[in-house]
Amino acid sequence: MTSTPKETAEETPPDELQEQRQGKLHKLFDDNFLDYTSYVIRERAIPDIDDGLKPVQRRILQTLHNMDDGRFHKVANVVGETMKLHPHGDQSIFAALVNLANKNYLIDRQGNFGNIYTGDQASAARYIECRLTPMARETLFNKDITEFIDSYDGRMQEPVTLPSKLPMLLLLGAEGIAVGMATKIMPHNFRELLQCQITYLEGDEFTLYPDFPKGGIVDVSDYDHGNGRLRCRARIEITDEKTITITELPYSLTTQSLMDSVEKAAKAGKLKISSINDYTAEKVEVEIKLPRGVYAEETIDALYAFTDCELSVSPNLVVIRENLPCIATVEEVLRHNTDKLQRDLETELNIEKGRLLDKLHARKLEQIFIEERLYKQIEEQTSYKGVTSTVREALLPFADELIRKVVKEDIERLLEIRIKRISRYDINKQAKEIRTLEKGITAIDKHLKDMVLFTKNYLQGILDTYGEAFPRRSELKSFDEVNARAAALSNIQVSYHRDSGFMGHKVKAEHPKKDIEFACSEFDRILLIFKDGLYKVINVPDKLFIGSEVVWMGVVDNSLVFNLIYRAGAVNLSYVKRFKTPKFILNREYRLFDAHKRSMIQLLRTGEKDIRARISLVPSSRARYNSLEIEMDDYLIKGVAAKGKRISSRVVRQVTDVTGKPKKTGPVAATLPGLEK
């Protein structure tokens, strides 16, 4: 007796049944997700290395070719026709068409296609028109060497890839985000690309760098063959000392986004501007007016440091090659495209040679048939079979003069010749046509023997015809990183109120002689030195308690030289030392000398020259002098950890800063014993 499905389900434990269902569900999700991933990578986001196009771009160009009659077509009509090949919405087609047209290589425009400088959108598809450019007609299409497949609904045929004769991937550039990968390919200059192809065919090395349609200045030091990093700058010109004009933009930036970044930086206090206006039309012109007390020369670095006038771009050259995604270099892509071009040109030459041979064969057959009056031999034949046999036998003696063996189609073509045409047959004209065909075949044979030379000549012809229209727009230039700290405005007032022990930009100084006050920027670091020899470096605080024992406070400056006299409490002797701004880790405490309850700083002064101090010693009846003056210049600048030079074997009672005061003579100016210069 067989069990019913209900009985089987009851026999299976619930946990096991749940696992089976989850396993089936996981398999369903895995299979569908892999299909979706593959589709997005190959059919939407990543361009093909062969023609450099994404599927939507390829379908747009093929549709324009199908519609091409030399006149402009409404973009709405082009979008509608493209939908017969493209399974997605009309908006994606329209956006791709506008983007392709604005690159100025393949599609002629008529109407408002937007503005790449300002970011303005194109007019509606029903108002604007487009058609293929002459260069696109010449270099993109050849039905004889194009592989076609059925469209998504099986009603039409679409190309797998277009037989492009230009390195379209590097010419147009591309951006796309797929599942688990993305591509970002920089556009390159038309003339440089073709010249590098010629250089490659000659067997020499070549180097390629990007060129952006909006111009700008590009540092390609880290380009790394299309997979590194670029630094792009706007071109900034000083109109006068109060006016800055931006005339070219970095890659992917519009004037609106640039102005937004400048206004944001101004609101944050990182730079000062009076106004910013956009006068862009056919060329970029963004004018920045500066307020009183601010000048153009000092503002340019701030624009590069704090606004989008300088951008970092990270290219990522991911392409579809042999139906699989891979990472390539610009040199590999150009070599691949050049090798493919050579193969395609050779295929085209062989196809053209075959056509010329067929035409020459037909002309010679016709010449022999008419000039040798072979048609006379079929006059008495009563059947079609007899006629064809007679013509075939009549042509046998002339087999050596023909290109190939005579086939049935050749005989049928001869029998279709009308008497009127035979009577008007021009022997000289026919001979001339045959000689022209033979010359064409000879020329093709010559080209086939040296395909490298033929490919070079083809590229040079394209370069001569269209090259002048595509000059380099971006300037290649190495430039240093802008020091944001140096470019920042010192617009923060930091104060130290000694009586309360607080410091920060929200603290107000009250006593000029006791309190400390100075200006800095948000990027600066503050060095604090305390009387007991402790020091540390902090960020600019709002309000911070640091106590009342601070002897020096200021912005970290690596060029500063500190002149220090301190008392070492353990031995109750004083030492002098000089050092530059020490290395530090933020907020960590360090010491200038060993800690002791009696150790303290007696004098701290910054400056590299002409720093003097008067030292008063504890009186001694046997001593020749009880005070002396020292020149800090006489001591070597050493590391911050150095102990320093002992001032005297006697206890120092007082240290006075006498920098700038007249020098005293006599015992007071005595030289320290053992002083080393």
Report the SS3 class of residue 37. Answer: helix
- Show the tokens assigned to 560: 């500063």
Supply 536's token pair. 């540390």
Q: Which two tokens stand for residue 389?
A: 């046999």
Catalytic: 152?
no
For residues 41 and 320, the answer to whether their CB atoms sit within 8 Å is yes
CA distance 185 to 316: 6
Among 580, 586, 577, 590, CA closest to 533:
590
How many other C-beta atoms lie within 10 A of the C-beta of residue 121?
12
Distance CA 219, CA 222 (A): 8
Helices (H), 294-383: 296-306, 330-371
- Residue 452 · residue 342 · CB < 8 Å: yes
User: CA separation (Å) from 374 to 362, 378, 426?
Assistant: 15, 8, 17
Number of neighbouring beta carbons within 10 Å of residue 444: 19
Rounded (to 5) percent helix, strand, coil in the chain: 40, 20, 40
Backbone angles phi, psi at 549, to 5 degrees: -100, 20
Rg (CA), the chain: 43
From the number of C-beta atoms within 10 Å of its C-beta (0-12, 13-18, 19+), residue 299 rates as: buried
Structure tokens, 644: 């320093």
Q: Which of 36, 39, 105, 127 is catalytic?
A: 127
Query: d(Cα 40, Cα 96) in Å, to the nearest integer?
Result: 16
Q: Give catalytic residue positions.
A: 127
